[in-house]
Amino acid sequence: MERVIGRALVSGETVHHKNGDRFDNRSENLELWFKAQPSGQRIDDLIEYLVVHHRSRLESRLSFCGDRER
């Protein structure tokens, strides 16, 4: 994050990883926050991560759920 913003983080600033993976330091996955952040992930960020990285597993689970409702 320091490279992205061009300076060192200051006291009270934290880095939020949108997809929850603290090792995924791509700039598009990072947000600069001030003060402590809540634990967890935003629902929209989590859904996007699952669709992009686990689409086939997600689709098979969704089709399985649909089969159970019939």
Kindly report, residue by residue over 36-63, the tens digit of the pLDDT: 666 777 888 888 888 888 888 888 888 8
* Whole-number pLDDT of residue 52: 87
Nearest alpha carbon to residue 13 among 45, 29, 36: 36
Q: Where are the beta strands (DSSP E) in 21-62?
A: 30-34
Average pLDDT along the chain:
85
Distances (CA, A) of 36 to 15, 20, 54, 58: 10, 15, 29, 32
Nearest alpha carbon to residue 31 among 48, 51, 42: 42
